[in-house]
Amino acid sequence: MLRHQSNPTDKFPSDRTDIPMNLGILTCPTIPETAPSHCLLCGSPAKQVLRNCFDTRFGIAETFDIHVCSRCELHQTSPRPSPEVLRDYYEKYYNFSGESGTTYTSRRERFLKSKLYTLWLLMDGDVSFHARRGQGRLLDYGCNEGRGLMRYQANGYEAEGLELNPRAAQSARSLGFKVWVDTLDQVHPAQPYNVIVLSNVLEHALDPRQMLTQARSLLSEKGELWISCPNYRSLWRLVFGAYWINWHVPFHVAHFSLDNLRSILAETGFKIEFVQQATPALWLTQSLMAALFAKRGNPTWQLRSAPLVILFMLLFRGILFPILWFSNRRGRGDCLVLRARKA
């Protein structure tokens, strides 16, 4: 069961919706509050709204707080890791598994190529833009081992990837794709891209403004940026509190709403052309499993149990679909999905 308790610090100080921040909560009173921080987007003071979030996936022992900016309401993980510390976390915990040739991976490949997957995307939300057809040059930032690249190629695009993990990049290259193992500022394509995909990427950036500016410089005139990222105004954040899977500390540095995402896109020279919200059944499943099983300092193995995850996903999608539909329509979905064009 989720534990609920009220906490006077758990409020949006300037949230126009007056929604309490954290209904489900796990706190550890021996850990002091982190010092007030400054917003990584606008530099205004930010203060704590959630204490002692811990990594619910890999078993990182440290805890983190969530701070909210008094001006732009960007939520951010605090303390903010330095680039060096963050790199260490990625290397230690975020390693590419390299699983291939197993029954599970071959079934997954078959599913991803099937019409059933296209139907699933229609129902569940296409947060990776796997159903969008078109043409032109496309760069998938964080392409991992290239499953997305195969979809983009099948949908008509000339797809390239960017992947900082060399093993994952090599795996994508073995499928025949060009893959950059660089940061965006080191990417120098022969021709600009027509599309850059930042699917669940921007929230990882220590400097989201810089990432968007660099992406813009790589796009053709009227090029498109496709972005998906968690929505901190999600209904499910209220339900799961500190266990909401999308806090994902310390890897998620910034936590966006549509408002502050809209601002930063306008500021960096983009015009939003399409916005939608989605609540993937997988994300709900992961939040529930984190709430039920995660213990600080221990990896949550249940998140990697394919039968368990699939069972819960089908249950959520089957039973909760009216609530999911309604929360998405009301701006309370788990994921923001948008397309913006270079202005």
Q: Is the CA virtual torsion 183, 186, 188, 194 positive or negative?
A: positive
Which of 21, 53, 72, 282 touches Zn ion by CB under 5 A? 72
What is the closest distance, in whole angstroms, from the C-beta atom of residue 266 to Zn ion in the complex?
15
User: If binding is defined by CB under 5 A, does position 254 make contact with Zn ion?
Assistant: no
- Could you say which residues in the range 154-193 bind Zn ion, by CB under 5 A? none
Alpha-carbon distance values, 5 to 27, 38, 241, 242, 293 (Å): 10, 28, 10, 12, 19
Nearest residue (CB) to Zn ion, 40 versus 150: 40
User: If binding is defined by CB under 5 A, does position 42 make contact with Zn ion?
Assistant: yes
Longest dimension (CA), the chain: 56
Alpha-carbon distance values, 33 to 30, 36, 182, 331 (Å): 10, 9, 36, 31
Tokens of 7: 């906490």
Using CB under 5 A, which of the segments 26-34, 42-50, 56-64, 309-317 binds Zn ion? Answer: 42-50
Nearest residue (CB) to Zn ion, 44 versus 183: 44
Using CB under 5 A, which of the segments 50-58, 71-79, 109-117, 129-137 binds Zn ion? Answer: 71-79
Site string (203-242) toward Zn ion, x via CB under 5 A: ----------------------------------------
User: If binding is defined by CB under 5 A, does position 66 make contact with Zn ion?
Assistant: no
Quote the CA–CA distance of 198 and 213 in Å, as a whole number: 13
Nearest residue (CB) to Zn ion, 75 versus 147: 75
Nearest residue (CB) to Zn ion, 71 versus 341: 71
Nearest residue (CB) to Zn ion, 76 versus 327: 76
CB 192 within 8 A of CB 186: no
User: If binding is defined by CB under 5 A, does position 253 make contact with Zn ion?
Assistant: no
Quote the CA–CA distance of 338 and 212 in Å, as a whole number: 14
Report the SS3 class of residue 290. helix
Residues that contact Zn ion, how many (by CB under 5 A): 8
Amino acid letter for position 279? T
Nearest residue (CB) to Zn ion, 69 versus 289: 69
CB 130 within 8 A of CB 153: no
User: If binding is defined by CB under 5 A, does position 39 make contact with Zn ion?
Assistant: yes
* 299: Cβ contacts below 8 Å, ≥ 6 apart: 57, 58, 59
Which of 23, 25, 41, 139 touches Zn ion by CB under 5 A? 41
Cα–Cα nearest to 134, from 117, 159, 101, 115: 159
Using CB under 5 A, which of the segments 43-51, 151-159, 177-185, 250-258 binds Zn ion? Answer: 43-51
Using CB under 5 A, which of the segments 23-31, 37-45, 193-201, 276-284 binds Zn ion? Answer: 37-45
User: If binding is defined by CB under 5 A, does position 201 make contact with Zn ion?
Assistant: no
- The label of the residue with tokens 């960017």 reads 162
Nearest residue (CB) to Zn ion, 128 versus 257: 257
Tokens of 19: 């929604």
Q: In terms of DSSP bridges, do strands 179-180 and 157-162 run parallel, antiparallel, or are they unpaired? A: parallel
- Residue 314 CB coordination number (10 Å): 12
Nearest residue (CB) to Zn ion, 37 versus 52: 37
What is the closest distance, in whole angstroms, from the C-beta atom of residue 125 to Zn ion in the complex?
28
Q: Can you give the binding site for Zn ion, defined by CB under 5 A?
A: 39, 41-42, 44, 69, 71-72, 74
